[in-house]
Amino acid sequence: MSDGIPPQTTVAEYVGAFQAKEKRKQRSWRMAALQLVLLVIVGVVAVSLIGELDPRVRRGADLLRSLLVMGRAPAWVGVSLLLLIPALLLMLLIQVIPLFLVWWERKVAAHMQVRLGPMAVGGFHGWAQTIADAIKLFLKEIIEPDGVDKWVFRLAPMIVFVPSYLAFAPLPFGVGLVGYSFDIGLLYVLAVSGLSTVGVLMAGWGSANKFSILGGLRAAAQIVSFEIPRVLSVVPVVMWAGTLSLTGIWEAQAQPLGGWFPKWFIFYPVIGQISFLIYIITSIAETNRVPFDVPEAESELVAGFHTEYGGMKFAIFFMSEYAYVFAGSLLGAVLFLGGGSPLFPALGFIPSWAWFLGKTLALVFIFLWARWTFPRFRVDRVMDLCWKVFLPWTLINIFLTGVVLLWRGL
C-alpha cells in the first residue's frame, strides 16, 4: 500500500491512519504555499535589485561604439554589429525558450494528472530533462524515406522555423529591450507568422505519406482560417491605441486610470474581454495545439505533417511550435495586459522586463492549461467555430469599438 496504511487493520486503526494522512497532506499543502510565497518574495526582491536593463544595454552599446571609433573601424561595422548582436541574442533566446517550455509543459501535464513528471535528470525536479532530450535528438541519425520530394522535404523544417524567429524582431521585452523597433510591428508579426503554413504544407507534401498530406491539408485550412479572426481580434486594440507599433500600443496602456486602476486593454468593458478571449483561443489554434490539434491528431494521423521527420528535423518543428507559443503570449501581454506597465503604480519598483516576463509566462500557462484539460475538436467543428462564432463576434467587436470611439469624439 502506497499511502502507508498497513493491510488487515481494525476500523479504529484505519481511521487513525487516515486522519494522520490527512494531517500530513495539510501540512504539505501549507509548506508548499509557504514555499511559493517565499519564492515570489525572493524573486521580486532579486528582480528589483537588478533593476531596469535599459541603461545597461545603452551603456554597452555606447562602449562598443567608442571602442569602434578608437579602433578606426568604418561606420558600417558599427551599424551592422549593433543590428547583429540583438539578432544573435534573439537566436539564443528562441533556442532556450523551447527547452524551458517543454520542461514546464511536462511538469504541468504531470501535476494535472496527479503524477510528478520528470524528476531524475539534473536533480531539482528534473530541470535538465529537456537538455538531455535535445542532446539525444542531436545525436539521432537523419532518415529520409524513399520517394520523398528531396528538397521540399529538407527545406520544410527551415521554412517553418525561420518565420518563427523573424516574428520576434519587433517584440518588446521591456523598456528599450527590443530587437528592432518599427512602425508596423504588430502587422509584421502577424504577417510573418503566417508564412510558417507554407512550410507545414511542404512537409505534408514532401513526405510522400498519406498521413502527412492529410495533416498538412488540415493544418493549412485551420491556420489560414484562424488567422482571419486573430487579425481582426486585435483591430480594436489598434483602434484604441491609434498605432501599429508594439511599443506605441504598450505606451498607450501605461498611464493608470484615475491614478491607480490599470488602463490595460483587457479591462475595457466587454470589448476588451471579447477581444482577449478570441485572441487567446485563435492563438492556440494557430499553434496547432490541443484542443485544435487536428493537423497532428495522434489517434487519427500518427503525427500529421511531421510523421516522417526524426531527430533534429522533428526538433525544429517542435521548437518553432514553442517559439510561437511564447511569441503569441508575449504579443498578448503587449496588446491586452499593458506590456511592461505595473498592475498598480505602487508596484512600479519592479522593472518592466519582469512584468513582461511574468505576464508572458501567465499567458503561456493558459496555453498549457488548455492543452491538458480539453479534448480535441472534430475537424468540421473547428471550422464552424472559426467562421460561425469567432468571425461574427470580432466584426461586432470592431463595430462596437468604432461606435464608442465616435461617441467619445475619437
Query: Which residues of this chain interact with other proteins, rule CB under 8 A?
Result: 149, 152, 182-184, 187-188, 190-192, 194-195, 197-198, 201-202, 204-205, 213, 216-217, 220-221, 223-224, 227, 231, 244
Instruction: Determine the Cα–Cα distance for residues 154 and 166; give it in Å rounded to an integer.
Output: 20
Q: 107 or 230, CB closer to other proteins?
A: 230
From CA 343, how far away is CA 2, in angstroms rounded? Answer: 45
Report, in Å, the least distance between residue 191 CB and other proteins. 4
| Residue closer to other proteins (CB basis): 5 or 187 | 187
23, three cell numbers = 494531517
List % helix, strand, coil for the chain (3-state, nearest 5).
70, 0, 25
* Nearer to other proteins (CB atom), residue 223 or residue 316: 223
Angle at which helix 271-286 crosses helix 391-407, to 10 degrees, equals 150
State in angstroms the smallest separation of the CB of 333 from other proteins: 21
Q: Are 243 and 249 in contact (CB under 8 A)?
A: yes
For the CB of residue 217, give the shortest distance to other proteins in the complex, in Å. 6
Please, which residue, 118 or 236, has the CB nearer to other proteins?
Answer: 236
CB atoms within 10 A of CB 46: 10
CB of 74 to other proteins, least distance (A): 13
Q: How far is the CB of 324 from other proteins (least distance, A)?
A: 14
Please state the closest distance from residue 204 (CB atom) to other proteins, in A.
7
Of 48 and 243, CB closest to other proteins = 243
Q: Which positions ≥6 away from 98 have C-beta within 8 Å? A: 130, 318, 319, 322, 323
Minimum distance of other proteins from residue 393's CB (angstroms):
19
Using alpha carbons only, give the angle 39, 43, 47 rounded to the nearest 5 degrees: 180
Q: Are 299 and 291 in contact (CB under 8 A)?
A: no
Q: What is the DSSP string of 168-217?
A: TTT-EEETTEESS--TTHHHHHHHHHHTHHHHHHHHHHHTT-HHHHHHHH
State which residue, 164 or 197, has the beta carbon closest to other proteins: 197
Residue number with CB closer to other proteins (173 or 188): 188
Phi/psi for 170 (5° steps) reads: -90, 5
Cβ 105 to other proteins shortest distance, Å: 27
Shortest distance, position 155 Cβ to other proteins, whole Å = 9
Helix axes 311-336, 271-286, angle to 10 degrees: 170
Crossing angle (nearest 10°) for helices 129-139 and 311-336:
140
d(CA 309, CA 128): 24
Min dist. Cβ of residue 84 to other proteins (A): 17
Decide whether 15 or 79 has the Cβ nearer to other proteins: 79
Nearer to other proteins, 99 or 203 (CB): 203
Distance from C-alpha of 309 to C-alpha of 41, rounded to nearest angstrom:
44
DSSP class per residue in 282-319: HHHHHTT-TTS-GGG-HHHHTTGGGTT--HHHHHHHHH
The values of phi and psi at residue 56, to 5°, are -65, -45
Give the residue with the Cβ less far from other proteins, 193 or 397. Answer: 193
